[in-house]
Amino acid sequence: MNISSVFIIANGKKEEGLNLSKRILGYLKDHNISGSVVYTNSDADEISVPMNTDLVITLGGDGTVLYAARAVNELGIPILPVNLGTFGYITEIGKDEWQEAFEYFLKYGTNISRRLMLRITVYRNGRRVWHASALNEAVITSAGIAKIISLDLSLDKTPAGSFRADGMIIATPTGSTGYSLAAGGPILDGDMSAIIITPVCPFTLSNRPLVTSGKVVTLTVKKEQRTDLLLTADGQLFFPLEEGDTVTVEKSRSRALLVKSLRRNFTEVIRDKLHWSGEMHA
């Protein structure tokens, strides 16, 4: 791989990110690679990725990767995610492994996982009023506390039913180990190309999680809601919904390109994170 410019996105709330970013910048300088860094203190911070960037390195946790994935969406820039804490589901690379993963990628360029991203659009009275991308999921919930919401669901314009639930999650395979999993959804391999639809505590017990491929998911906010509704993308972007709004969620044309760890794979990560040891856990 021909890499001449690296852009580092570091979690500004973690002092370790400051120290590691300095070491990485020093390494890049020694190897005649241009490097720059930005420190984020909020998921709402807006950053501009230099157009000549060949690789983004994130220093933080899964949240920092979600943030970076949206920032480089449609730019085709790979992301090397370095975890500053315990290993995350997305950030497989430990803080002492970044150089190993970087040099392998520089030499071979094959340790890449192509992750599905979502394109989320809100229409109000036939007009687009909001749009966003997401690596993990789009979620519609009540803006209040413990309030049931009512939504109509369609798949490729075919009505799939009406749902009364605490919320609705539309997740990617990457997001299958997040909120969707906690709500009873299945785990999908991160490299798959599928969309998971997971109702949150549905009023009707026959409303179960659904995995679909290639479908445009449309959710319509029904009339006479008893609460305000909120749409979130990756748990970081928020948009208030109104009765009659239509939300479409579909596969993005671009993928998130994540540099993989050379020391562990998806199965090992979920095995360790979910304690699949074959023994009882209290």
| Active site (catalytic) residues | 62
Q: Are 7 and 53 in contact (CB under 8 A)?
A: yes
b/e per residue 24-61 (b: at least 16 CB within 10 A): bbebbeeeebbbebebbeeeeeeeebeeebbbbbbbbb
Q: What whole-number distance in Å separates Cα of residue 259 and Cα of residue 79?
A: 6
Angle between helices 15-30 and 98-107 (to 10 degrees): 40
Q: What whole-number distance in Å separates Cα of residue 33 and Cα of residue 5?
A: 6
Q: For the purposes of burial, counting CB atoms within 10 Å of the CB of 262, is it exposed (0-12), middle (13-18) or buried (19 or more)?
A: middle
Q: What whole-number distance in Å separates Cα of residue 50 and Cα of residue 178?
A: 30
Q: What whole-number distance in Å separates Cα of residue 194 and Cα of residue 214?
A: 7
